[in-house]
Amino acid sequence: MAVKTSREIGSWSRSILGLLLSLGVVVTIAGMSACSSNDSEGSSEGTGASGGGGGAGGGEPAGPTPYELFLKIEPDLVANCNICHKKGGSAPAPFLAGETPEERYQTITFWPGIVVNAAEQSILLTHPESANHGGGEAPRIPENVKPGVITWLTAEADGLPDSSVDIGPSVRPFRPLPGGALNTVYLDALGDDFQYMSIAFFAEALGGTSDAPTMLRLTNITVHPVVDKPLHIVHPVFTVYVPGQPGDPDPVDSFSNLDQTFTLGGDNTLGTGEVVLTNWQKGAYLGIAFELIEVYGGNAGPGTGCNDLVNFQQNVVPAMQTCMMKCHGGANPQAKGTMDLSELNAMMPTAACQEVRARIKPGDPAASQILQVTDPVQPIVHMYKFDGDLNAYNAFKTKVEPWIMAEQQ
């Protein structure tokens, strides 16, 4: 057997020591101890907060997480805001609902307008300064508290994910309220037509442990339009955003075949009303994207009257007789609610033209919905695609395209 020199033994010992340290094993040498610093995120795990970034080389400890920064200012927020903004408080915005700091953290980070990309624009800072805050009698956030609030909001903003699901319009990812709580997500950011509209659901984290759930179950998912503005939704996708990682869409794409129109007072359950996201992690964000979301008739808007009524009457109206009879003329109530062609032949030309014009992009036939959704070769969910007859579709397209071009202003 070969005999190792003292230098070789020393080198071997250092290698073993390095291995033990990398595994987090505490090693005692001559009354001293050394241990790994891999657990630098400390007690923030399981709080619902995103972990802090690593130190600048050399294994330096990570900085405080957003949740840890929130804990520093939480007593001040409770002292100044809780009397009105707690659950059951006098203000209609209970963003501090909850009995514990963690519950209040979940509520305040979920509340619209509080965590935004620019901390100084958070309503937590801007609204108390306005004259209508509590009728002018509500207190402002004390000046000595604001720096801590800005530091916390900035850390939260740094962790905001981008909506990276390339499918269509989407709402800004948010942290849902778990534990069976009601979540209401407003759609205002999608445009003026969507003001006051929302999607609501109950959320419950399941699987694994309370500190490391593996699923998020959404139940009683409902869509809430406003009066005289039916809301048309095609293929919504719920997406999980873990801080620092790209979006991870619903693994089974639960609503891939959904094409649904919602009216105030109607059955507003989204599809089956339930989805289970098996890719959930505590502290993650939730986003909702749509292949298509539109307000029926809302896209016409002021100043968008038809430019070429003659072309519309001579070519488009005859071309749309088939789909009028098949779906939009009333045979399919859902299709009629999306685009009502039941009176196409009897309507005033201007009214009929605007009804269809809301479904096109003037000057761009390829981007116009009436040509996209009815194309038999396009994998877009739609109930009518000329029964798969490409020749019939092309004949329809030939008649409609000149009018779409003429509508460009």
Which structure tokens are listed for 185?
């997500």
H or E element at residue 11: helix 6-22
In sequence order, which residues have a C-beta less than 8 Å from that of residue 287 and are 6 or more positions away?
161, 163, 165, 170, 171, 172, 173, 174, 238, 239, 240, 241, 247
Predicted local confidence at residue 147, as pLDDT:
93
Stretch (H or E) spanning 101: helix 101-110
Cβ-contact 247, 165 below 8 angstroms = yes
* Strand-pair partners of 184: 200
Q: What is the per-residue pLDDT for 217?
A: 94
- 26 DSSP assignment: -
pLDDT for 37 equals 32
* Predicted local distance difference test score (pLDDT) of residue 149: 93
Give the per-residue pLDDT at 180: 82
Residue 364, pLDDT score: 87
Specify the pLDDT at position 163. Answer: 59
**Which has the closest alpha carbon to 19: 29, 34, 9, 7?**
34
Count of CB atoms situated within 10 Å of the CB of 63: 13
DSSP character at residue 283: T
pLDDT at 19: 43
Whether residue 295 contacts residue 229, with contact meaning beta carbons closer than 8 Å, is answered with yes
- State how far the Cα of 405 lies from the Cα of 312, in Å rounded to an integer: 11
Provide the pLDDT for residue 34: 36
CA distance 204 to 176: 9
Q: In what order do the strands lie in the sheet with 275-277?
A: 181-186, 198-206, 215-224, 275-277
CA distance linking residue 373 with residue 391, whole number of Å: 16
Q: pLDDT tens digits, the chain, 409 residues: what are they?
A: 343 433 343 444 444 444 444 444 444 333 333 333 333 333 333 333 333 333 344 455 567 888 899 999 999 999 888 888 887 777 767 888 888 998 888 888 878 778 888 888 888 888 888 777 776 667 788 899 999 999 999 988 887 776 555 578 888 888 888 888 788 888 988 888 888 899 999 999 998 887 789 999 999 999 998 877 889 999 999 999 887 788 889 999 999 889 898 887 778 899 999 999 999 998 889 999 998 898 875 333 333 467 888 888 899 999 888 877 767 776 666 566 567 777 777 777 777 787 788 778 888 898 887 888 788 877 565 667 887 888 999 999 999 999 999 988 6
Name the pTM for this structure.
0.52
Give the Cα separation of 187 and 56 in Å (integer): 40
pLDDT attached to residue 40: 31
Letter string b/e over residues 346-385, b meaning 16 or more CB atoms within 10 A of that residue's CB? ebeeeebbbbbbbbbbbeebeebbbbbbbbeeeebebeeb
Domain definitions of the chain by residue range: 6-38, 66-158, 181-295, 309-406
Cα separation, 176 vs 275, in Å, equals: 14
Residue 399 has which token pair?
Answer: 């008649």
3-state secondary structure of 261: strand
Phi, psi angles (nearest 5°) of residue 321: -65, -40
